[in-house]
Amino acid sequence: MLHNLFWCASGVVIWTAFDNVFAFLWATGRLPYLSDTEVFGSAGGFLRFLFGLVLVPSWRDIHFYFAHRMLHFKPLFTQVHSLHHRNTDIEPFSGLTMHPIEHIYYYACILPSLLFYLSPFHFLWNGIHLLLSPGASHSGWEDHFQSDGFHYMHHRYFECNYAGTAAGFLDVKFDTFLPNFKEKDRNALPRDDSKSTLKGVPTIEFVGYLLASAICLSLWAYTAVLVAKGTLHVIPMIAFLLSFLCGFGPVLVACLITIFQHGVPALVMPFHEKPLSQSFLHILIGFLFCSFPISMPAYLALISP
pLDDT digits (tens, 9 = 90+) for 27-51: 999 999 999 999 999 999 999 999 9
Q: At what angle do helices 120-137 and 43-71 cross, to 10 degrees?
A: 40
Q: Residue 276: which pLDDT band, with cuts at 50, 70 and 90?
A: low
193 assigned to some structural domain:
no
pLDDT digits (tens, 9 = 90+) for 129-153: 999 988 888 887 776 666 777 888 8
Pick the residue with more confidence: 182 or 18? 18
Q: What is the pLDDT of residue 183?
A: 54
6 assigned to some structural domain:
yes
Pick the residue with more confidence: 178 or 41? 41
Q: What is the pLDDT of residue 270?
A: 43
Window from 57-71, 171-185, 225-239 with minimum mean pLDDT: 171-185
186 assigned to some structural domain:
no
Is the full-model pTM beyond 0.75?
A: yes
- Kindly report the average pLDDT of the chain as a whole number: 88
Q: How many domains does the chain have?
A: 1
Give whole-number Cα distances, 119 to 50, 74, 123, in Å.
Answer: 10, 37, 7
Q: Residue 195: which pLDDT band, with cuts at 50, 70 and 90?
A: low
- By the 8 A CB rule, do 33 and 26 touch? yes
**DSSP class of 269:** S
187 assigned to some structural domain:
no
194 has a pLDDT exceeding 70: no
7 assigned to some structural domain:
yes
Q: Which of 4, 11, 15 is nearest to 93 (CA)?
A: 4
239 C-beta neighbours (distance < 10 Å), count: 21
Q: Which of 171, 242, 7 is nearest to 103 (CA)?
A: 7
pLDDT digits (tens, 9 = 90+) for 49-92: 999 999 999 999 999 999 998 998 888 988 999 999 888 888 88
Residues 6+ apart with CB under 8 A from 119: 33, 34, 35, 36, 39, 49, 52
Range of the domain at 69: 2-181+201-302
- By the 8 A CB rule, do 288 and 67 touch? no
Percentage of the chain lying above the pLDDT 70 cut: 89
Q: Residue 229: which pLDDT band, with cuts at 50, 70 and 90?
A: very high
191 assigned to some structural domain:
no
- Exposure string (b/e) for 51-60, b if CB count within 10 Å is 16 or more? ebeebbeebb
Q: According to the per-residue pLDDT averaged within each range, which of 4-8, 182-186, 294-298 is highest?
A: 294-298
Q: Which of 56, 61, 57, 28 is nearest to 118 (CA)?
A: 56
Beta strands in the chain (DSSP E): none
88 assigned to some structural domain:
yes
Give whole-number Cα distances, 257 to 242, 251, 283, 286, 287, in Å.
Answer: 21, 10, 19, 20, 18
305 C-beta neighbours (distance < 10 Å), count: 9
111 assigned to some structural domain:
yes
